[in-house]
Amino acid sequence: MDQRERARRAASARKATGGLVARGVTAVAVTWVDTSGISRVKAVPLSRLEHAAAWGIGASPVFDAFLLDDSIMSGRFAGGPVGDLRLHPDLDRLAVLTALPGWAWAPADRYDQDGMPHQLDARYLARREVDRLAAGGFSVRASFEVEWAASVGDGDDFVPACTGPAYGMTRLTERSGYLRDVVGALTAAGIAVEQIHPEYAAGQYEVSVAAEDPIGAADTTVLVRETIRAVSLNHGLRATFSPKVLAGGVGNGAHVHLSLWRDGANLMAGGDGRYGLTGTGEAFAAGILSRLPALLAVGAPSVASYLRLVPSHWAGAFACWGLENREAAIRFVTGSAGDRSRAANLEVKCFDAAANPYLAVAVLLAAGRAGVAEGGTLPEPVEVDPRSLGTVTPLPSSLGAALQAFETDAVLKDALGEAMIDTIALVRRGEIALFEGADPEEIAARTRWKH
Ligand code: GLU
Ligand code: MG
């Protein structure tokens, strides 16, 4: 953060302030996402926004070592009472939160007091991966699907907000005002909503948003979730994005859609590989597929994630890929004939919303880039329910198993750096210990209102 960048950020704050005043904004919430996938916040009144943009808002680095129950680990690179960072709101992503009247929001970039990026800042690590791909002439378009479950009242027990059939119009009708306000608040926040629908599980809904650059997609998913949370509270509901709301039900995924682009062309389409994949697009996908066990330590990072990641729940619990296969960890989507050069993409289904979306982006891009460097190829696609074959390898069935793969993966080590690898492992071990001996009901209940 040099003087020039400070001046640029201060100028953006000055430029934004008039519009914010006109829209009745009093204060700006500045969020970052911790290692456990929880958005943490500091806020400033509008009068302080310019100072915050240029000089940052003080915040302890301790949150990198927080577990989902707010207990704190003590590690080599994170934890403990000492130190202070600077949160610089990125005003390029400023949004007005109409569901929280008087509030605007911006994501934070975390720097140290010498103006260097904090080595555990997930948004910084994601940007570094975007830049590495760009150095090879590539860009990625991404989006996170958002599934959530809405519960009536403010109690800790889950009371589904709708009782109609899965995907049923009844569920929309039961909560039409709520869903209208979700769409309205997202649109007012500048989100390009593509669709909204009732999902399968009790009280479950889903929003899809347009693809954008990877950092934008991660920012968007934070904004979408916090907006849904706010609209829910305004309607006397409680929203949860937890991977497994009820031990017996279908979970909430946070599927990540990715397409790789070079020279204005989508490399997921127009090639002579299977389903139109180009060789480079296939290699990118292969880099991800071959590293899924390790990637899960970031993308399915909670003990509850492994209650969700089971066969026959459309969570993508098998280490395979297939065209429009909703049980494959990677569902390949071509889009409609005539629109494929725009629409074709990979959907990484096994990720959930306990993942820090910036870290998710960072590791997916790193794995894809490694695949391209290796000239990776995909195995045969799976065109049936993988379970029925009996030969397709399931993904790790526990966080501990995913962590083992993660800690020995050289590509992820290079992407995230030793400090982040060590801190992720620290937090994952802490959460494994936290739930030691707990049965699925207890894991679901204790995770339910955290994300
Ligand atoms: N809710 C499912 C999950 O846990 C996904 C359902 C779907 O394919 O949209 O990922
Ligand atoms: Mg869905």
pLDDT bracket for residue 383 (50, 70, 90): very high
- What pLDDT, on a 0 to 100 scale, did the predictor assign at position 219? 98
Q: How far is the CA of 157 from the centre of ligand 1 (A)?
A: 22
pLDDT bracket for residue 48 (50, 70, 90): very high
pLDDT bracket for residue 376 (50, 70, 90): very high
- What pLDDT, on a 0 to 100 scale, did the predictor assign at position 174? 97
- What pLDDT, on a 0 to 100 scale, did the predictor assign at position 252? 98
Q: How far is the CA of 97 from the centre of ligand 2 (A)?
A: 25
Q: What is the mean pLDDT of residues 374-382?
A: 97
- What pLDDT, on a 0 to 100 scale, did the predictor assign at position 325? 95
Q: What is the pLDDT of residues 132-172, one digit of tens each?
A: 999 999 999 999 999 999 999 999 999 999 999 999 999 99
- What pLDDT, on a 0 to 100 scale, did the predictor assign at position 123? 98
* Span(s) in the chain for CATH 3.10.20.70: 3-119
Q: What is the mean pLDDT of residues 312-317?
A: 95
Q: How far is the CA of 315 from the centre of ligand 1 (A)?
A: 5
Encode 256-285: b = buried (16+ Cβ within 10 Å), e = exposed. Answer: bbbbbbeeeebbbbebebebbbbebbbbbb
Closest CA relative to residue 393, chosen from 333, 316, 323? 316
Whole-angstrom distance, CA of residue 38 vs CA of residue 249: 23
Give the ligand 1 atom nearest the CA of 206: 9
* Span(s) in the chain for CATH 3.30.590.10: 130-447
Q: How far is the CA of 310 from the centre of ligand 1 (A)?
A: 11
Q: What 3-state class would DSSP assign to 181?
A: helix
CA angle 125, 399, 67 (to 5 degrees): 65
Q: What 3-state class would DSSP assign to 267?
A: coil
Q: What is the mean pLDDT of residues 419-442?
A: 98
Closest CA to ligand 1's atom 8: 314
Q: What is the mean pLDDT of residues 358-374?
A: 98
Pocket test for ligand 1, best of 146, 255, 395 (most atoms within 8 A of CB): 255
- What pLDDT, on a 0 to 100 scale, did the predictor assign at position 397? 97
Give the ligand 1 atom nearest the CA of 147: 1
Instruction: Say which ligand is closest to the CA of 207.
Output: 2
Whole-angstrom distance, CA of residue 253 vs CA of residue 149: 11
Q: Which residues contact 425 (CB under 8 A, 6 or more apart)?
A: 297, 403, 406, 407
Give the ligand 1 atom nearest the CA of 316: 10
Q: How far is the CA of 198 from the centre of ligand 2 (A)?
A: 9
- What pLDDT, on a 0 to 100 scale, did the predictor assign at position 201? 96
Closest CA to ligand 1's atom 6: 314
Pocket test for ligand 1, best of 314, 333, 352 (most atoms within 8 A of CB): 314
CATH-assigned architecture of domain 130-447: 2-Layer Sandwich (3.30)
Q: What is the pLDDT of residues 319-338, one digit of tens each?
A: 999 999 999 999 999 999 99
Pocket test for ligand 1, best of 146, 250, 257, 395 (most atoms within 8 A of CB): 250
List, chain by chain if needed, residues with CB within 6 Å of any ligand 1 atom.
147, 250-253, 308, 313-315, 326, 349
CA angle 141, 145, 151 (to 5 degrees): 160
Q: What 3-state class would DSSP assign to 103?
A: strand
Q: How far is the CA of 234 from the centre of ligand 1 (A)?
A: 26
Residue that is written with structure tokens 């008039």 in the block: 18
> What's the one-letter identity of residue 180?
R
CATH-assigned architecture of domain 3-119: Roll (3.10)
Q: How far is the CA of 386 from the centre of ligand 1 (A)?
A: 16
Q: What is the mean pLDDT of residues 213-230?
A: 98
Looking at every residue in the chain, the average pLDDT score rounds to: 97
Q: What is the pLDDT of residues 187-209, one digit of tens each?
A: 999 999 999 999 999 999 999 99
- What pLDDT, on a 0 to 100 scale, did the predictor assign at position 264? 96
- What pLDDT, on a 0 to 100 scale, did the predictor assign at position 420? 98
Closest CA relative to residue 357, chosen from 67, 38, 28? 38
- What pLDDT, on a 0 to 100 scale, did the predictor assign at position 289? 98
CA angle 57, 58, 64 (to 5 degrees): 110
- What pLDDT, on a 0 to 100 scale, did the predictor assign at position 41? 98
Q: What is the mean pLDDT of residues 365-370?
A: 98
- What pLDDT, on a 0 to 100 scale, did the predictor assign at position 288? 98
